[in-house]
Structure 1
Amino acid sequence: MTRIIITTLLVFAWLTTANAQRKSVNAYHDHNVECMGVEHDGSQTLRATGRGRNKADAVEQAKKNAIRAVIFYGITEGRDGCNMRPLVTEANAEEKYEEYFNIFFMDKGEYTKYISSKDSKARSKTHSKSKVDCIYTVTVRVLRSELKARLTSDNVIK
């Protein structure tokens, strides 16, 4: 009888620990994107944060986070006047078109055609380092209208 109680307690402790670990991993994925302004051509200037093994990985991840925010999440922070709504409003679109977006967001992939660093100023990048990774915040311009046209032509949005 005591073996059953001990086994039950161990299984319960293991499940509780596994659930707590899963929650901490989800907190790792953040999309900190802030709107800095909108240009006359419809493009948006954004400050995005990325995390990576080194500077190059973190900067590329920040650019992907900026594009991903415009496509899926919308811009929730920053100045007024920005187009806050995401381009894709369909529920679970990221999973539905997973194959398309895996190719789109490959390292140095198609997403690079819709992002520019021409609004970056000297010393506008902020960073922090730890023993595990680097975190960089960069200023980029997302070509929203061209991105919308691409997603429309590829039948991701209607």
Structure 2
Amino acid sequence: MRKLFFTILVVSLFFTGCKTPISGYYSYDTECMGKNYDGSQIVKTWGTGEDVKSAKIRAYQEALHDVLFEGIRNGNSDCNMRPLVTEVNALEKYDAYFNHFFSEKGNYRDFIKQTRNNKKLVRNNRSNMKEAYGYIVEIDIPALKQQLRTDDIIP
């Protein structure tokens, strides 16, 4: 009995010790870094892509998507935890609006900017040979809310 237990223990340790670390162990959630006096929020966001430019676009879109529909739940508690758009299925209801908003020529870029002296953070993703780039950005929440009110997306 002891011999069987010892064998199972050795085999399980062997298999758990052979795993190679990949980027799947990292959290790519948008994190609150702080809030400015004008109501804008500083967040850390991540994007993956074939190159730096596509990863940056994806990171910006991901940060705005989280602010609009998910709320920022990680990091500093200064950020607004609730999403700006609280209507159920709003993404599907206003899909034409948000498809244009997040498109290549959409106006999502008007509400987000990279902070000064920002160094991009890189995490190598061995599973799909893409790199994840992290950016610390400022999101203009008051202007974004005003735009959504003007376009009758939120009350």
2: CA distance between counterparts of 1:56 and 1:38?
26
1:126 alignment partner AA: V
1:107 aligned to which of 104, 108, 133: 104
2:153 to 143, 151, 156: 156
Query: Residues 108 and 138 of structure 1: is their aligned pair in 2 closer, same or farther, counting only changes over 3 Å?
Result: farther
TM-score, length basis structure 2: 0.76
Identify if the C-alpha distance between structure 1 residues 39 and 89 changes in structure 2 by more than 3 Å, giving closer, same or farther: same
Q: 1:108 to 1:120 in 2, by over 3 A?
A: farther
Separation (CA, whole Å) in 2 of partners of 1:36 and 1:43: 11
1:146 is the counterpart of 2:143: yes
Task: Structure 1 unaligned segments of length 5 or more: list them.
Answer: 1-26
Higher helix residue share:
1
Maintained 8 Å contact 1:120/1:139: no
For residues 135 and 110 of structure 1, what CA distance do their matches in structure 2 show? 24
Cα offset for 1:62?
A: 0.3
Match of 2:117 in 1: 121
Find the residue that maps to 1:40 and give its secondary structure: coil
Percent of aligned pairs with the same amino acid: 37
TM-score between the two structures when normalised by the length of structure 1: 0.75
Change (3 A) 1:148 1:31: farther
Superposed displacement of residue 121, structure 1:
2.8
Figure out how many residues of one structure are paired with residues of the other and give that number: 129
SS at match of 1:137: strand
Aligned to 2:66: 69
Question: Are 1:94 and 2:91 an aligned pair?
Answer: yes
- 1:81 CA drift (Å): 1.7
Deviation at 1:132, TM superposition (A): 3.8
